[in-house]
Structures are given as C-alpha cells and as structure tokens.
Chain A
Amino acid sequence: MALSVKELASLLSVLSEDTTQTQSFESLATSFHHYFTKQDHFKVGSSIVLLLQNRDLLPHPTQKLAAIFLLYEMYRTDPIAANPFATVFVHILNPPTENQEAGQFDLHWAIPAISPAERYFLSQLISSPTKEMFKKTPTQIIQLDVSSMQNFDVSGLQLALAERQSEMPAQSKSAMPCVVPDRDTKPSSFDHFGKPGVINPDVQRQTIESLLTGNKAPVENCMMPEFIRLAPPLHIAEDELCWMNPVDMDYSVAWDTTMCVSSSAGVEIRRLMSKAFKGALTLQQQQQLLDELEKDNKLVYHIGLTPAKLPDLVENNPLVAIEVLLRLMQSNQITEYFSVLVNMEMSLHSMEVVNRLTTAVELPSEFIHLYISNCISTCETIRDRYLQNRLVRLVCVFLQSLIRNKIIDVKDIFIEVQAFCIEFSRIREAAGLFRLLKSLDSADPQNTPTAATR
C-alpha cells in the first residue's frame, strides 16, 4: 500500500507548486499517467487523500485542486459512482463542519474547505466534464469568477454512494486515519525563528516521506472502535489429573490343567455331536448322548455346539436339540441360542423345538412373538401352494397349542393372527384357529364374527 520513495518523488513532482501553477490539467494528467499504471492508482489515491487531509502538506490551492483532479483522472473511464474516491468528492462539496456551528470544532481528518471556483470546477467534473476545462490550468480555475454561474447538481452521485454504503456494515465505515496533526510552536530551524506557521519545505518533505513510504507506513493504517475481547477463563475441573495407584494383582499366564486328562466320554460325545449336526442319529446314539449329558453337568459346554451350529442340530435331531438347550439354560449365552432359533428357517422341527421349550421352561415372550411373526411371514411369502398349505396348518396347530396352554396372551398377537387367519381362511385349521380367537375374545362386543363366515 505504501509508496516507494521513487513513486513518491514522481507524485510530488506532478503535484509540485510550480507544475500545478503553470501546466494545464491535460498535461498534468499526461505526466501522471507517465509515472503510474492502473495498478498503482488505488495506493496513489490513498496517499493523495492523506495529503489532502493535512493542509500543511499540500499548502497551495493549485496543488490541492490538482490533487482532487488526479483522484478524478485516475478512474475517469469508470462511472463516477464507481470511483473509490467518490466519497472524497462528496465530502469536499459538503464539508461536515458546515453542518455544525462554524469553528466549533475541527475534525482532524476533514479536508479543508475549498473556494467557490474550485467547487464549481469539481461539480462540473463530476457531472458534465468538457474538453475546454482540461485545457485550463489550476491557477486559471481558481481565478475564475463563478458568482454568476450555477453549481452543478451532484445529488445523483450522493444518492448512488449512499446506496452503496448502506450495503456495508457499520463497522467497515467507522475507521479514521491514524495521523493526527499536532502543531508545534517551536521553530523547526533557525530561518524560521519567530515565524510560526511558515512552511519549511525540507521538514515538509521529510514528514510526507515518513507518512507515505516504508514498511507499515501510517497511510496503511487506520483506527477503528474496538471491542475489548476477553479470553475465557481456564476450564475448572476437579478431578482432571491422572492419579496413579499401584495394581496389587499379578496377572500371569496360566497352565492348562486339562492337559492329558482325557475323558473318553467327552471324545465319544463330540464324535456323536459332530454326526448329529450332519444327519439324524439312531435312537441308540441319541440315548447314549443324552445319558452322558445327564452324567456330567458341564459336559454340555464341551460338545462343540455354538449358536451358529444350532439350526443344523434342530433340523437333524430336534430331540437332542431340546435336551441340550434345556441344559444350556444357565449359560449366559442362552439368549444367543434363542435368537438363532427364532430366526432360523421355519420348519416342522424348529416348531417342535420351540413348542417343547415353551412347555418346559418360561421363554421370554418377545422371543415367542418374534418366532410367531417369523412363521406368519414365512407362510405368506412361500410360493409353493402345497408346501404353503402344509405350513399354514402347522402354524395354526402350533398357535392353538400355545393359546390353549396359555403360554402367550392372545391380546398381544390378536391383530396379527386374525389377519393371518383371514388370509388363509380357505384352510380348515385357520378357520378353527379363528373361531378359537373369537371365543376367547367374545367378551368384547366390538368384534362381530362377520369375517369368519366368509
């Protein structure tokens, strides 16, 4: 953003007192464009604004006018409202001090007021520039008598600017330059002794240089109203650090005490079980298996039955499956066996196992419900008509037995089972089940037995 020393020298040569007094605006513009390209324009413009804000840095009226002209010239090809320095023009034409009591205060960044001739020139520049204008020199303009001429109307520009600014957040519009004039009455050199307020070109040049050039030049900075942003306090936790307690246990590897302690029964049972997963056992074999299980409580855990293998056992040897499951009731894995059981493919055998289990022990009711819905959906989806009829009959008998033995509460499954009965009302057992349902439900007057007769 800051200018280089060379750029500053070029700018000041264009804005020097001599040049601005003698040359026309046209030639000022030419020499300006000679030094600066389009990319430089914004930073040069910012520098010019800072110079304008300090009356002692551009003391001569022609310099000031030339500076204002350059702000215009840089963005001449764009519409005037798009000129980033358009606000400066509005500011000059309506100085904020005018609205207040004159002289009451003096904002340090306010650009000093300009003469009527200059105002005339500026407003013409904004609204309808003519070629002759640029042929004149700043001196000629200043000497112009404008008392008889009418000011041009710039309200259009003001409106456009106001509109653009209203889109910007207030925070972005509230900065101020950080350079504050602070006049010192002390003479700056021997020559100026006793002549306060007289411009010293050397000091002036130095000041401009330090304001506009270098790293972090003041021209880059501005000051904004700022919040005090407090950092949050550190989180307070009462028990955060890691306290260390010695561990009083010695966790060491263990010796396998079952080494070579072979139980001949175990081996035989395992052999039988692996057979039982693959096909039906003979009655003799079954009896042997059950006898051995009877002898040793823990043997059931050693026979190699996992939940995954349960369906095979159920299909091939339902009787063995029932016995084994009954012995596994104490195991903490029993729920897994159950869930495998109720989710396995529906068949006569699985139904038999479930049925026997329900009579022998109290099964969790959700398992039974799950199994029933599983059965019903299997019946509904099966394609083979013959098989379907067979399965439906099975399910109906199974349900009747469940209901009669009061293993399930009819109310819990009423709707589901009723729908099932209606769907398969062509099958005698289904109709029978339906009648059973109705008879249990007859206390309820809402259900009229119309559907049953269909």
Chain B
Amino acid sequence: MADNKAKNDSDAEMETSMPLPQVTESQKELASQAMSEFDKKQYGSCCSLMHKLIAQRPTDPKVAHNKAVAEFFQSGFLTTDEFRQQLSKVCQMAHVNIDNSESLEDVDHSVIYFNQAVILYHLRQYKAALNILDKLFQYIEPLEEALAKKATMLLVELYLCTYQPEKAMGMVHYAEKTVFTAGKNAGEKENKEDQVDEAWKPKISLYKTRCLLMMKSMKSCKREIKSLMSTQAMNTAVIYLKSNFEHLRGNHKKAMKMLGSVSTSDFTEAGECMPVMYNNNLGCIHFHLSKHHLGAFHFRKAFQENENAIKDIKRGAEHNKNLSGKTLNSIGMSRHFELLYNMGIQLLHCGKAMPAFDCLVEAVQVFRSNPRLWLRLAECCIMANRQNNDEDRKLEKRLEVIQGSDGSGIHRKLRLGPGLKKDNPSPGTPAIPAATHEFAALCLKNALHLLPEDPLTAEKVPIEDSDTVKITPEMVLVTAPPGNPLKAAEVASLRCSILAASAYVALCLNDYTLALLHAENLLKQPKLTGAQRYLGHLYMAEAQVAMDKIADAIQLLNPELVVDISLTLPENKTEQDKSERDPEASESKGYFYPWSPKDLTRAKAIAQYNLATAHAIRGEYDKAGQNLGERCPPSPYYLVAIPFTTVQCVKHNKIDLAALFAHGDLVITKQRRKSNVDGKEE
C-alpha cells in the first residue's frame, strides 16, 4: 500500500518535472542537423529546422530555448526584447526561477542561466549578471566544456566590470588550471596538467593584463604586456592596454604615441565606439600633463562622439520597443556617465567649479560608491565659494577694507568693510544638490562613510595586541568606479584630504566642535603632507579660538612650526622603481592644480597673521601688534585683512589710517620688487 502511494507520488513529480516523451531517432536527427546549421552560421535554415522540431516537441524547454536562440541570431541580435520574453517562457517551462533560487538545481538549466547573464551583461546590469553566474559557477565542473569556457570568461569580465580585480585574477588562475587545460580527457589529465589551450592563451593573457592594470601591479603587468606585444602587436585591444600601462607608469608621450598608432575604425566588433575611447584617453593623458584645458577639449570631443554614436543607433532603430532595434552589443555602448565623471574632474582642475559641479552631480548618481567622487563634489562646492586662497589679495577685496566715507568736514566718517567673513545662508535644504558648504558637508560625510574604518579609531578597542596593527590590510581595495580601485596608500591619502576638507567646511558652517574634531583626526593620521599638517594646525587653532581655548591656539600658530607645505608626500620609492621609469617621464607626478600659499615665507606670514588675530581676540594688542609689525615678514596678507587688529594697533601707535595705507602700499611694492629681483637671480 505504502509502496503504491510512493509510486503515485513519484509519478506526480514526473509529470511536473519531466513530462517529456522519449526522443525519437528522427527528432534526434533533426536536432543534430539544426545544431550543425547553427555552427555553420546558417541561421535561416537552422530556424526552419527548429520550427519543425518544436512542432514535434512543443513541451521540451531545451527545444524552445534553442529556437529562441536561433531566432535571435537570425535577427542579427536586434530582437533583445523578444529574446528575453522567450527566455522567461523557457524558464517557466523548465520550472526555473533564476532570480530567487539559491543555486542552480539542475545542470541542464545552465545554458539558460548563462544566456540570462549574457543579456544582463549587455544591459550593464553587472551585479545581477554576476549573481546568476556565481550560481552557475558552483556547477562549473560538470558543464559542457565550451559553455564552461564561455561562462568563466564572462565571469572574469563581470568581475572586471565591477572593479574586483583580485576576484577576476583568481578566476583567471582557476580557469588556467582547470577549464582551459588542453586535452581534458580523463586519461591524459596527468600529462598535460598545466598546458593551457593554445587558442585561448592570448585571451587569458589579455584578461590578466587588465586585472594587473586594475590592481596597479606594474611589474607583473610589464611582463604580461611584453608577451602580448610579441604575439599580437597589431591588436587594438593590446595597443590600448599597452598605452594604458605606459600612462600609468607616467610615460605620457609614449602612451599618446601608442594611441595614435591605431587606425580608428569607428566601431569595434564588440560594438564599442573607438573615437570616444581615443579622445577620452587623450583627455586622461593631458590631465596628467596638467594641460587641463586641452584635456577638457578632448573630453568634450569624446562626449560629442558618444552622442553621435547613440544618435546613429537610435536612428537605425525604428521600433519603439525598449531595447529591440539596437543590436545587443550596442545597447550598453554609451559611456555617457564615465565621460561626465572625467569631464567633471577635469573642469574642477580648470578652476571651473560650477560646470564641474554640474557634471559630477550627474555622475555621482551612477557611481555612488566612489568616496573620491564625493570628495570631488565637495571640492567643487568649496571652490565655488572661494575660488582660491589668493582671492583675499585681489585689489577689489583690498579696496573693500574701506567701504567709503560719509559726510564732510568735521562730520566726515570712514566706513570700514565687514572683513573677510561672509555668511551666505543657503536656501533650501542641503539635501538638494547645490554648490553650498552645507551640501559639501553632506558629500564629505558620504565620502568618509564609504571608506573602510579608520585604522586609528578601529584599533582603539583592542589595544593590547599591537602585533595585529602591523598587519595592515594592504590588499584591501576600495572601489572607486569608474576609476580603478584604490590601494591602501591611496585610501590613506584620500582620508587625509577628506578630513582636511571636512574641517574647512565645518569652519565655514560655524560648526566649530565638528571642525575641531576633524582637524584633530587629521593631525592624528600617520601620513600627512606638509600642507595638510599646516592646514590642520590652522583649522584647529581657529576652532579653538572660537571655542575660547585661545592659549592652545596660540601654541599651534607659532610660525616657527611651519616647516613644510609641500602638497605631496615625500617620495620613498626604491631605487629600483626609479630606474624602471623612463627618464623623460619625470614630470608625471606631483600636483595638478596650483595651491597658494606657494612658499614657506607666505605660509609663515599667514600663520603669524592668525597668531596676531588670536592675540587681538584675547585683548593682547601689544603682542598682536608685534606679530603684525616688526617680526612679520613682509607679506601681502599683512594688508589684506586690515580690519581690526591693524587698526587697533595703529591707533595704539598713533599712526593714522592714511599713513597706514601708504605704508601698506610700500610693503607691497617692496615685496613685488623683491620677488622680481629674486626671479632674475634665479
């Protein structure tokens, strides 16, 4: 009885999972014919064969699947919408739920999974595609060989698209060992263990190079590229990779030459628009040569090419359906947002804060997880509100010191300017993007959250095991799409920049507690540039004064403490590294945008001026005067912010204002003359 029941059960299951009748010989014949037609790329006859077959086996999901595939090929990949529909029907027939199942249930369904992932890849839904392929990969061993190869390659590609070079590299290594091992027959396995199939070698090498470039491990990359160049020096992809490599090494001229050597046909086989890439890459090179306007020109050109390419495709597509009408390859072709990103950063370095802001605010909606992009947005806001630090020294600003006069005769009054501070209350909430300090604060908060936890604060809990501190997570990469992921050193320097900007923005928002916090945090960072340390002291002092800790601030402002204001970390590269680089590429590193104060004397003068300010706030006018007067090196800043301190001191010393201004001019002309002389001597 029980047996009987079990039998019924299993029969019921049979009906749902395998309702298929046995395959007859003629059907088998038909199927193999269709497949050979497909292999011969005779999609028309293949389609008609499949029609015959499906008439005989209407419930076979595999037949339905292959029919859809054949038709898709037949259409020249134009009918993506239809294909997706067919694919989901096949899923229903085969009782497959791709999105929700935890893993692949049956190896028979692997092709469906793969094709779904392919479509998602072309739609640039990389995460979703990766999700599906990960499930498929669990069953990579039993997969039919050709499919296994395709799947691993796509998996590597997807890891690269999602900026996970280590995973991609791991997959490449895995593939080399297993999937692409030539002669995988069980008997020969031992003999040819590590022999990679010759046909796939160059492709694997290409992937490796891309991984290495993304990981910025230049040495292994060099080796890989060398072997690539020796075998296929005419391949466009290889030349571009080589150019990218030279660019990363700082050999910009060489990189440019490489780019120029490629004949630019408009589209690659994979449907990418070459002129867009060419111009974009030229833009990158010019950015690094600090030729920002030329860079912006190239990016703009890339932009136009991109627009044109899309327009062409759209014109070709008469159907009004979502995806159909474009070939599968060209659906995800547009590089609009990457270009916006590049353009925004370039414009920022041109000093055009507002256009840069507009570009980056668009880009950040796509590349939300990039902490550096958030910092750049904040920098746009900062620059929009203060073009540069020399702003105060402009004539118009200096003239603002005296706003004008009222009355005449004994009633004549001078009106002095309100000083440097400007509180422009921002309209609306900071959540609506606008180039304000409020929005900048938000951006910086995002940027900080996106970074891995600060090792300094993270360590606080387990203080005892100081050994673990040394094991810094050197290999942890922080993604920064669409750029290459950040290495540990880059993360550290990014954190410093974010903290400095955060402290500055907090000061501008009169949030002194937060400013103090950020400045303290900044000064605690292990690797600071001279400029950052200097700024950290200034910000901290200003916050402390506002919080009535003037004595501490005065300590910090000692101009003798200012010893270094360089913008980059001192190079601690090994000799080997240096020799590796081309001698002509020495200009590559360094800053891309000028910052003022440029020299130590000015930096000291500013610190001293701020010191005088702190003294004046404490009511120590004599000390303030001393700092402004004799000991102060002649600096234009001496006059800029004449406001309070100077006037006060001047009054003490019984010099009247007119004399002071005369004196100020004198100082300036002296300074100018001096620098002229210096310039000549050099």
Q: Using CB atoms and an 8 Å cutoff, list the residues of chain A in contact with chain B.
A: 54, 56-57, 104-108, 169-171, 174-176, 178-184, 186-188, 192, 196-200, 203-204, 206-207, 210-211, 218, 221, 223-262, 264, 267, 270-271, 274-275, 278-279, 297-298, 300-302, 304, 306-308, 330-333
Contact between B652 and A255, CB atoms less than 8 A apart: no
Nearest neighbor of A59 in chain B, beta-carbon distance: B410
- Can you name 19 A-B pairs with beta carbons within 8 Å? A107-B651, A176-B648, A184-B412, A203-B408, A229-B420, A230-B389, A232-B531, A233-B531, A239-B248, A240-B483, A243-B244, A243-B284, A244-B277, A260-B23, A274-B17, A275-B10, A298-B142, A301-B139, A332-B138
The 4 closest A-B pairs by CB, nearest first: A207-B407, A301-B142, A188-B409, A260-B31
| Chain B residues, CB < 8 A from A262 | 20, 22-23
Contact between A207 and B406, CB atoms less than 8 A apart: yes
| Chain B residues, CB < 8 A from A302 | 106-108, 142
| Chain A residues, CB < 8 A from B14 | 271, 274
Q: Does B35 contact A (CB under 8 A)?
A: yes
Contact between B111 and A246, CB atoms less than 8 A apart: no
Contact between B138 and A333, CB atoms less than 8 A apart: yes
CB distance from B249 to the nearest CB of A (A): 11
Contact between B592 and A236, CB atoms less than 8 A apart: yes
Contact between B31 and A243, CB atoms less than 8 A apart: no
CA distance in complex: A247, B624 (Å): 65
CB distance from B551 to the nearest CB of A (A): 11
8 A Cβ contacts from B63-95 to A: 63, 65-66, 69-70, 72-73, 77, 83
Given contacts A179-B416, A182-B405, A256-B69, 10 further A-B contacts (CB under 8 A): A170-B618, A180-B416, A224-B419, A224-B617, A229-B504, A249-B157, A254-B115, A255-B69, A304-B106, A332-B138
CB distance from B415 to the nearest CB of A (A): 5
CB distance from B558 to the nearest CB of A (A): 15
CA distance in complex: A258, B414 (Å): 94
* Candidates B2, B83, B482, B641; contact of A228 at CB < 8 Å: B641
CA distance in complex: A9, B501 (Å): 50
Contact between A255 and B35, CB atoms less than 8 A apart: yes
* Candidates A178, A258, A278; contact of B9 at CB < 8 Å: A278
| Chain B residues, CB < 8 A from A255 | 35, 38, 66, 69-70, 111
CB distance from B272 to the nearest CB of A (A): 5
Contact between A241 and B545, CB atoms less than 8 A apart: no
| Chain A residues, CB < 8 A from B210 | 245
Contact between B147 and A254, CB atoms less than 8 A apart: yes
CB distance from B562 to the nearest CB of A (A): 12
- A253 and B72 in contact (CB under 8 A), knowing A207-B413, A232-B497, A241-B284? yes
CB distance from B276 to the nearest CB of A (A): 7
Contact between B272 and A234, CB atoms less than 8 A apart: no
B interface residue count range (under 10 / 10 to 19 / 20 to 34 / 35 or more):
35 or more
**Which one of B313-321, B371-379, B448-456, B459-467 is at the A interface?**
B371-379
* Candidates A183, A235, A238, A251; contact of B379 at CB < 8 Å: A235
| Chain A residues, CB < 8 A from B417 | 178, 223
CA distance in complex: A244, B244 (Å): 8
* Candidates A171, A236, A252; contact of B548 at CB < 8 Å: A171
Contact between B619 and A246, CB atoms less than 8 A apart: no
Contact between A231 and B592, CB atoms less than 8 A apart: no
Q: Does B269 contact A (CB under 8 A)?
A: yes
- A229 and B146 in contact (CB under 8 A), knowing A180-B413, A187-B409? no
CA distance in complex: A227, B607 (Å): 9
**Which one of B427-435, B608-616, B668-676 is at the A interface?**
B608-616
Q: Does B666 contact A (CB under 8 A)?
A: no
- A181 and B591 in contact (CB under 8 A), knowing A232-B535, A244-B276, A258-B62? no
- A108 and B651 in contact (CB under 8 A), knowing A179-B413, A229-B542, A235-B379? yes
Contact between A237 and B13, CB atoms less than 8 A apart: no
CB distance from A271 to the nearest CB of B (A): 7
CB distance from B309 to the nearest CB of A (A): 13
Contact between B6 and A301, CB atoms less than 8 A apart: no
CA distance in complex: A57, B406 (Å): 12
Contact between A235 and B616, CB atoms less than 8 A apart: no
- A105 and B419 in contact (CB under 8 A), knowing A180-B413, A227-B542, A235-B379? no
| Chain A residues, CB < 8 A from B345 | 240-241
- A178 and B416 in contact (CB under 8 A), knowing A246-B277, A247-B237, A254-B147? yes
| Chain B residues, CB < 8 A from A239 | 216, 248, 483-484, 490
- A174 and B241 in contact (CB under 8 A), knowing A181-B413, A236-B567, A254-B69? no
Contact between B643 and A226, CB atoms less than 8 A apart: yes
**Which one of B190-198, B335-343, B468-476, B570-578 is at the A interface?**
B335-343
Nearest neighbor of A303 in chain B, beta-carbon distance: B106
**Which one of B164-172, B219-227, B380-388, B579-587 is at the A interface?**
B380-388
8 A Cβ contacts from B389-420 to A: 389, 392, 403, 405-420
| Chain B residues, CB < 8 A from A259 | 31, 35, 60, 62-63, 65-66
Contact between A57 and B411, CB atoms less than 8 A apart: yes
Contact between B270 and A228, CB atoms less than 8 A apart: no
CA distance in complex: A252, B18 (Å): 29
CA distance in complex: A97, B23 (Å): 114
Contact between A332 and B141, CB atoms less than 8 A apart: yes
Contact between A182 and B412, CB atoms less than 8 A apart: yes
- A200 and B538 in contact (CB under 8 A), knowing A224-B419, A279-B6? no
